[in-house]
Structure 1
Amino acid sequence: MARRVGLIWVLSALLTGALASSPQPLAVKSLNDWLNQVGTGELLLKPTESSAGNSAINGWDSAVHLGAEVDVKVSGPVAAVTLKQSYRNDSPHYVEAIYAYPIAESAAVHYMEVIVGSRRIVGEIREKAQAKAIYQDAKKQGKRAALVEQQRPNLFTSKVANIAPGETIHVELRYTEALAIDGREFSLRLPTTMTSRFHPQESSIKPVEQGPIVPSSAVGQSSHLADITVDIDGGWPIQNIESPSHPFVERSLGRGYRVHMGSSFSDKVAMDQDVVLRWQLDPVASASGAVFSEEYKGEHYALVMLRTPDEMTSGPRMPREVVFVIDTSGSMAGQRMYHAKQALSQAVERLSPDDRFNVVEFNNQHSRLFSSMRSASAINVKQALNWVGRLQGGGGTMMLPAVEDALSVRSDPAYLRQVILITDASVGNEAEILRVVERQRKGARLFTVGIGVSPNSYLLRKAAQVGQGDYVYIASGQEVKARMQRLFAKLENPVLKQLNIDLPEGAEAEVWPNPLPDLYHGRPLYLAMKLDKPIDHLVLKAQTDRLWQQRIALPEPTEATGIHTLWAREKIAAQLDGLRQGKTQEEVRQAVLAVALEHAVMSPYTSFVAVEETPVRPAGEDLKKASVPNRRPVDQAYPKTALGLTQQWYLASLLMLVGLALLVRVRLRA
């Protein structure tokens, strides 16, 4: 008996030490921390100071989330999205509300409106500090006011002050984005939730931490539901509409289709995974590109889409030197880990004997399969597949050291050097990772494979852009093979690099992105242009194994709204890249402000604010709170990194008490 008690005591101590020492997200300490960790569209209500002690997180709690409406109008490669979320204040008190919601990282958010009862509050774009001051002043005076701020590239927050008892509020955002295109496939992604983000304690970046994320059964059947409709006018004949994420119904609109997510046109879908919708251009559509234009404040803006020339998709094959990096952290446990291993195994099996490779896996720490690069011989490939098959998800997400290690491999000029990162990208130190990729890749090209139904798509796409590679997303096991085949086409075909364009004589334009990105098989070139006059053609020049150029006739432009916001967003993204390239915060801030204010778009330095001049809250009336949890992504097992420090100590203390109780009981019997 004494031996059993001793064993229990040892196990308790070991568990205590393991829980207390394992890398975990920092505890939530403030509203800013909370905003950095929020998940599925949640309304947070700020109580009075007297009631703050009843809240689990320093006086902040969430309100009932009734649902969302998403209306998307697709015209060619451009999507105009209206997102409206509805919340109800069921309490008998006035409230100040804060809601947070992830949206597409490529979106140009250009409009905000809050509807409280019968009143509409339309936002105006202002410098961030100024907007906050206007909002705070109105709130103190008891006026209805609204403030929308960008917290992350793909996360925004809205505050609404002085909401009356019993009122329902609607918060509406409108944004424009360019669709992802791969060959003839067009893809739309609508985020509805997010995976908890791990933040290394030693990082100098402001932490991004998780909020309360619970199983769907905990939120009830009527909450966290979205009504989503997509009208598609492809610009060309389309076919094969599909969704790997949700069932859907469709009907013809003549030139296009209306698609509703769900099993009927009245259905709503649970907000526990990104909504993904894809369609194909009809093979008879042979257009080399498209032009969408808009006049804004007397200026001419255009979004030009050019398709990859077919004759550049074949050529001599160079042997490759590939480092595969796979995320085995806690957020990858379950389905995600299984799909990641499937993808990695396919990639390893695809290697040729004259290729060289290695595999790096990371969670709290990282390790290599081989001490150095190995040839892709049958023996080495088999060893790699066996090693990959034994991988399991668990622990933290220390991505930065693993990426550094993969990029540090000494390159051989006789080989094409590639790094393939397979992950859900659930980290908060994106800026540090991007900085490392930019400074240390030394000719290597970084490709990313997004895993799961709610990946951090901002980091996946931006890392591929900075690493001069490309990206794919895998949301389900049924599409692993098809998605990886698309990636292989990019890895194994020549790339168009050192791109530049020549405009017709006499035409001038400010073009973004600048410099132009390298182009891979199937990817179009997007040009956001501010022109002094319309153009009917341009000359595209590039380098592969030889100099190459092609004169491309442009079709008649299609008039569209929001094109100037896409141009502004591309320019702002380039300006923000300056923070990694040595520019000061103030230099970047001033440059971004000039563009964001001119085009009324959200940015890290601009916010939307709106005030209703008539006070509505009686003097002395308190603000109260309500609560709602967030839906956990449907494919995520309960993460092994999910326990915060407080929960760890509670569990550790409980185990110690159990061990002490058993020890005392045995001694009393003795």
Structure 2
Amino acid sequence: MTRSCVVSVGLLLLAVSTLTYGQGLLVVTDPDQVVRLPRPILIWPPDRPVVRPEPPAAYKIKQLEVNARLLDQVAQVQVSQSFTNTGSRQLEVAFLFPLPYDGAIDSMTLLVDGKEYPARLLKSDEARKLYEQIVRKNQDPALLEWMGTGLFKTSVFPVPAGETRTVSLRYSQLCRQHDGLTDFLFPLSTAKYTSHAVDEVSFRVTIESAQEIKNVYSPSHSVEIKRPDDNHATVTYKTKNEVPTEDFRLFYDVGKGKVGTRVLSYRPDEDDEGYFLLLAGPKIESKDNEHQKKTVMFVVDRSGSMTGEKIEQARGALKFVLNNLREGNLFNIVAYDSEVESFRPELQKFNEETRKAALGFVEGIYAGGSTNINAALRTALAQLQDSKRPSYVLFLTDGLPTVGETKEMQIVDNAKEANDVRARIFAFGVGYDVNSRLLDKLAREGFGQSQYVRPNEDIEDSVSRLYRRIESPVMTDVTIEFAFDEKHEELGKPVSRVYPKGSFDLFAGEQLVVVGRYKKAGPVKVTVRGSVAGEEQKLDFPAKLARHSEDETAGFIEKLWAVRRIGEILDELDLKGKNEELIEELVKLSTRHGILTPYTSFLADEDTSIRDTASNLRRADRRLSALAEPSGAGGF
């Protein structure tokens, strides 16, 4: 199962020189220390002399409340956490929130003495300056800052001794769905960090589906499920005075009948461009005798950190793939540490002889040495020659690049340059020390996906589940086209800024998920093109792009599109360096759509009017003009 709807409220409480996880862990460190993005967050104490030890910050997590609404594949989640300063001194508190690539924080509020202070979105430097001014006045601000890909930090000051503060966040997320099964995951476990109990934990998840809901199941918690009708369900979970030991996970599946195609559009202002979301599950049967010949390249990390159970599981995953390849497929194995070693110098035809030889090679893979990711990927991709044959690279690592080329974007650029056949790269990150930012970029540029295996999860199981999916792609090299009918061809191309870009593969049970923008409203024809069992096919279906949206029902589409565009801009800045034009566009998008970036921050303070922040500031010109005001942009 891929990584989906994953949001952590592992919360770092920053108290003077004390860093505390919101659900328990107390770690002494430097408040100004840069925190890189791991999964989850690990903070290492720096070497520095302690002039005079201070008593550790005392706190208690009073309540963690999660309210989620799953509308088909879209999750809208409200997270509230209350904490009390049980110590004898005033604290400044900071929380860290890791989010997945597609996650977007909509808003933040700070609750002080029963009064709610909504957040406002400012440029980062403005927010930090204003926050420090309020701190000097000893008032109550809260600041939410972007700290890296999917990681945000919010600061609250002061928290007087004996008092309670509540921080609330709202975020939206497009969940992944496979074979009619939607997976919602909220990382909750803290036992590995602390023994501190949470006074009260509560979850409420409402599910609304256009198709009949068949099953609702939580493998992690004893939940209560209510089913008022075939298309709705409510899931609740409550516990008191307990240390959360497992992440909260919820699955629900829908009927196996013919999956329809849906185009949702949202256009709040006729004078502005609209936004659309395409969800489609083409009814294409994959017959056993139509398996398309393909190439599978396995790239496995055998560095020293893979010692023990990890390398055993990696060998098991390799054996599973080798025992499930088909006659006519091509394959090879690249094992790497400081050096790179291939099973054979070139791709091998799969047969009984090569299978046995490859299994012998797998048995000889042992862990030791450093991690040369760049050389391993270049070696693997250089062996792929046939662009007409679907090619898949299963890339597994548990660490960071430590030898050879170690710069993230250079590794990504080198892999992209070497990938002449448009091979799909599926990256597996094992454990908590992986460079998730690097793996996510490799997967995106490699037309694939990134997945993460926790230390207590089985590598072999994760790889085998993915291989079963790609073993029989229903449609490869899929492209999406939008067109007006013949009477309106003079209007030109209906849509723009469509994501994902380029072509991709569709596997059995999956949906096409495409977002984009449009200028002209009205009926359009959507064409899905791709290769099915080696033969070109196309599917046409009608859709309608709204001229004007009367309500906010589909308003989430605007944010989904903006998240992808902002991600594209950030990748461009990472790759090519600072570009003022791109930064300006990023700030405009971030401010207009309420999405945190390295250049914007939320700020909540006691001078914020709820009436003012509740006003509709969707139009870019109004938001941008507000940035020039001393108090910053109006909020949510």
Bin of the TM-score, shorter chain as denominator length: 0.7 to 0.9
Residue among 522, 525, 544 paired with 1:538: 525
**Change beyond 3 A, Cα 1:402–1:486:** closer
Residue among 250, 266, 279 paired with 1:277: 250
CA contact (8 A) 1:473 1:483 kept: no
Q: Which has the higher helix share?
A: 1
**Change beyond 3 A, Cα 1:360–1:271:** farther
SS of aligned partner of 1:520: strand
Cα distance in structure 1, aligned partners of 2:295 and 2:505: 20
Unpaired runs of 5+ residues, structure 2, are 1-27, 547-551, 609-636
**Change beyond 3 A, Cα 1:431–1:298:** same
- Matched-pair identity in %: 19
Residue 35 of structure 1 corresponds to which residue in structure 2?
Answer: 35
CA contact (8 A) 1:512 1:570 kept: no
Residue 593 of structure 2 corresponds to which residue in structure 1?
Answer: 599
Residue among 528, 542, 566 paired with 1:572: 566
Unpaired runs of 5+ residues, structure 1, are 1-27, 194-214, 615-670
**Change beyond 3 A, Cα 1:104–1:442:** same
**Change beyond 3 A, Cα 1:378–1:40:** closer
Matched, 1:563 2:557: yes
Residue 104 of structure 1 corresponds to which residue in structure 2?
Answer: 100
Report deviation, 1:596.
0.9
SS of aligned partner of 1:463: helix
Report deviation, 1:431.
4.1
Matched, 1:307 2:280: yes
**Change beyond 3 A, Cα 1:218–1:496:** closer
**Change beyond 3 A, Cα 1:155–1:477:** closer
CA contact (8 A) 1:122 1:610 kept: yes
CA contact (8 A) 2:374 2:415 kept: no
CA contact (8 A) 1:308 1:519 kept: no
Q: Deviations over 1:102-153 (max 9, x none)?
A: 2232112120112234343321111111111111222122221111111122
Worse-superposed segment, 596-605 or 315-324: 315-324
Q: Which has the higher contact order (CA 8 A, sep 6+)?
A: 1
Q: Deviations over 1:450-508 (max 9, x none)?
A: 46687876655543331123456666768966873553443543403343322453584
Residue 294 of structure 2 corresponds to which residue in structure 1?
Answer: 320
Cα distance in structure 2, aligned partners of 1:152 and 1:112: 18
Report deviation, 1:282.
0.7
Listed as ranges, the matches of 1:145-160 within 5 Å are 145-160=141-156
Cα distance in structure 2, aligned partners of 1:584 and 1:272: 42
Letter paired with 1:463: L
Letter paired with 1:228: F
Q: Deviations over 1:81-103 (max 9, x none)?
A: 11223322122222211111222
Residue 227 of structure 1 corresponds to which residue in structure 2?
Answer: 202
Listed as ranges, the matches of 1:94-493 within 5 Å are 94-192=90-188, 216=191, 219-220=194-195, 222-223=197-198, 227-243=202-218, 245-254=220-229, 255-260=231-236, 265-266=238-239, 274-284=247-257, 286-289=259-262, 291=264, 293=266, 295=268, 299=272, 301-311=274-284, 313=286, 317=291, 319-328=293-302, 337-363=311-337, 366-389=340-363, 391=365, 397-409=371-383, 411-412=385-386, 415-423=389-397, 431-448=409-426, 450=428, 460-470=439-449, 484-485=464-465, 487-493=467-473
SS of aligned partner of 2:586: helix
CA contact (8 A) 1:237 1:285 kept: no
CA contact (8 A) 1:71 1:228 kept: yes
Cα distance in structure 2, aligned partners of 1:576 and 1:347: 35
Aligned length: 557
**Change beyond 3 A, Cα 1:173–1:118:** same
Cα distance in structure 1, aligned partners of 2:252 and 2:140: 43
Cα distance in structure 2, aligned partners of 1:218 and 1:514: 37
Residue 10 of structure 2 corresponds to which residue in structure 1?
Answer: none
Residue 18 of structure 2 corresponds to which residue in structure 1?
Answer: none
Report deviation, 1:280.
1.7
Cα distance in structure 2, aligned partners of 1:583 and 1:37: 20
Letter paired with 2:36: N
Cα distance in structure 2, aligned partners of 1:40 and 1:225: 22
Matched, 1:552 2:541: yes
Report deviation, 1:366.
4.5
CA contact (8 A) 2:305 2:399 kept: no
CA contact (8 A) 2:108 2:118 kept: yes
Cα distance in structure 2, aligned partners of 1:424 and 1:63: 34
**Change beyond 3 A, Cα 1:52–1:140:** farther
Cα distance in structure 1, aligned partners of 2:74 and 2:158: 37
Cα distance in structure 2, aligned partners of 1:30 and 1:400: 33
Letter paired with 1:295: P
Q: Deviations over 1:410-429 (max 9, x none)?
A: 52457543311134577796
Residue among 608, 627, 633 paired with 2:602: 608
Cα distance in structure 1, aligned partners of 2:283 and 2:80: 41
When normalised by structure 1's length, the TM-score is 0.71
Report deviation, 1:370.
3.5
CA RMSD of aligned residues (A): 4.1
CA contact (8 A) 1:143 1:613 kept: no
Cα distance in structure 1, aligned partners of 2:242 and 2:441: 29
When normalised by structure 2's length, the TM-score is 0.75
Letter paired with 2:467: L
CA contact (8 A) 1:144 1:613 kept: no
Cα distance in structure 2, aligned partners of 1:577 and 1:451: 20
